[in-house]
Amino acid sequence: MGKPHMLALPFPAQGHVIPLMSFSHQLADHGFKITFVNLDFHHARVMAALRDSPTDCEFVRLVSISDGLPMGEDRNELGKLSRAMFSVMPGNLAELIGKINESDDDKITCIIADESMGWAFDIADKMGIRKAAFWPAAAALNALKSHSPMLIEAGTIDDKGVPTKYEIIKLSPTMPEMNTAHFVWHCVGDLDTQQTIFQCMIQTNQAMKGVEWLLCNSFYELEPSSFDLVPKMLPIGPLLAGNRHGQPVGNFWPEDSTSLSWLDKHPPHSVIYVAFGSFTVFDHRQFHELALGLELSGRPFLWVVRPDLTGGPNRPTDAYPDGFLERVADRGRMVGWSPQQKVLAHTSLACFVTHCGWNSTMEGLTNGVPLLCWPYFADQFLNRSYISDVWKVGLGLNQDSDGIISKEEIKKKLEELLSDGGIRTRASELKEMAKKSVSEGGASSRNFNDFVEWIK
């Protein structure tokens, strides 16, 4: 008999591709065959980033479809991307599945799609394919999304998602507090983009009604109230399998592997790791302050300076403050993209200066690394509240009256963070909880096994 064949469809962004790729490898380990579908645009980047590494593994096949936008278009404009996806991708996906099912002995029998790609479930229904949804962000964010119709009814937001006033709310008495100003759809791009994203979320809520499985990259002990509020959502995290056996992680940029050999030269708990995920952009003034803050800390640091971190397409070597590169040459290392999951597991790490993307948050927690929070957009403000107010495994940074996080603030908060024994202890406790949840008998492990049984 052939292998059960699933099609995995991530939302087209780095922070969605990596965890679904991880999940796909985990499923492949359990005897599944996976066809992993990226946009043509991202597929080309993933392949280029792999360079000499394996481009495919036996049971996770990487393929792509078009989103209808020209190749040169900016996929970081989420409103434009979402509108394009809704219009052309359903047809392209149906065509791909049709072709595979004509030619492949193992027909696709299940689609596992990012919940934000809820339109794919209509296709699954039309083609008689089973459906499962994947949520790569906090369970609390899903709870917020699913409760958006109630928030409209209560007058907290209008029917376009705009908060009627900025206030602190709780979705249930045991849920963490949320600031309406930080609702995810309200923290992305211009008003037009915000409304497009909100509409997509409302449509997704509808599409989810007929979906039996909703699997979330979190663990129960981390967000019990959110999981209780959306009982259908099951934790299967932390998902960190993408880095095993040299399998492709799904990076959009090539990893600089010298990061690890550089870390090897440093004593335990000495290095500050600084990375802001795939979307964050800094203006030149803030970029300077960050560089000078790291210099002022007097500690060794590994800093991911993405080629487009200051907005332009090229690595911003000329954007560093005068003389900075020479002054920090013996203790600072800048790389374009790091093997982050491995970096965070390295014993030399002291702390992680992070934008609080959900994957970075989970990767930091799973390794017991204290976090210094610097959110940029979308759900990162919610994640920051979790880190600093609920789990208390990190600290936030404050802006000055010009909206800048100053070098002095960076130095001060790094010192506070690194001298806080309570934060380190709680970070270690969460690390153990994370490990338990994916070990035999843990809730995430049980949910994963139940899913595997269902699909078989």
Q: Which residues in this chain contact ligand UDP in the complex, by CB under 6 A?
A: 13-15, 18, 251, 275, 277-279, 304, 337-338, 340-341, 357-360, 363
Distance CA 133, CA 265 (A): 43
User: What are the backbone angles phi and psi of residue 109, rounded to the nearest 5°?
Assistant: -115, -10
Q: Of 157 and 240, which has the nearer Cβ to ligand UDP? A: 240
Of 227 and 374, CB closest to ligand UDP: 374
Q: How far is the CB of 273 from ligand UDP (least distance, A)?
A: 9
What tokens does 173 get? 């008495």
Alpha-carbon gap, residue 363 to 369, rounded angstroms: 9
**Of the two residues 21 and 175, which places its CB atom closer to ligand UDP in the complex?**
21
Closest approach of ligand UDP to the CB of residue 214, in Å: 19
Q: Are 358 and 138 in contact (CB under 8 A)?
A: yes
Distance of closest approach, residue 357 Cβ to ligand UDP, in angstroms: 2
Closer to ligand UDP by CB, 39 or 110: give it.
39
Q: How many CB atoms lie within 10 A of CB 158?
A: 12
Least separation in angstroms between residue 156's CB and ligand UDP is 26
CB of 80 to ligand UDP, least distance (A): 18
Beta-strand relationship, 108-114 and 5-9? parallel
d(CA 161, CA 168): 16
**Structure tokens of 133?**
């949804």
Q: Give 96 or 393: the residue with its C-beta nearer to ligand UDP.
A: 393
DSSP E strand stretches across 246-403? 271-275, 301-304, 332-335, 349-354, 371-373, 394-396
| Between 345 and 390, CB nearer to ligand UDP | 345
CB of 62 to ligand UDP, least distance (A): 17
Q: Minimum Å distance from CB 14 to ligand UDP? A: 5
Q: CA angle 276-179-344, nearest 5°?
A: 25
- We find the least distance from the C-beta atom of residue 87 to ligand UDP, in angstroms, to be 24
Which uninterrupted H or E stretch holds 134? strand 130-135
**Comparing C-alpha atoms, which of 396, 376, 406, 386 is closest to residue 287?**
406
Structure tokens belonging to residue 191: 């008003």
77 or 125, CB closer to ligand UDP? 77
The smaller minimum CB distance to ligand UDP, of residues 196 and 278, is found at: 278
C-beta of 96 vs 438, nearer to ligand UDP:
438
Compute the least distance from the CB of residue 337 to ligand UDP, in Å.
Answer: 4
Write the DSSP assignment of 51-112 as a string of letters.
TTS-S-BTTEEEEEE--SS-TTS-TT-HHHHHHHHHHHHHHHHHHHHHHHHHH-SS-EEEEE
Minimum Å gap between C-beta 117 and ligand UDP is 15
Separation between Cα atoms, residue 311 and residue 356, nearest integer Å: 20
Q: Which of 275/371 has CB closer to ligand UDP?
A: 275
In one-letter notation, the amino acid at residue 274 is V
| H or E segment and range at residue 38 | strand 33-39
Q: What is the DSSP string of 212-274?
A: SEEEESS-GGGSHHHHHHSTTEEE-----GGGGGG-----SS---THHHHHHHTS-TT-EEEE
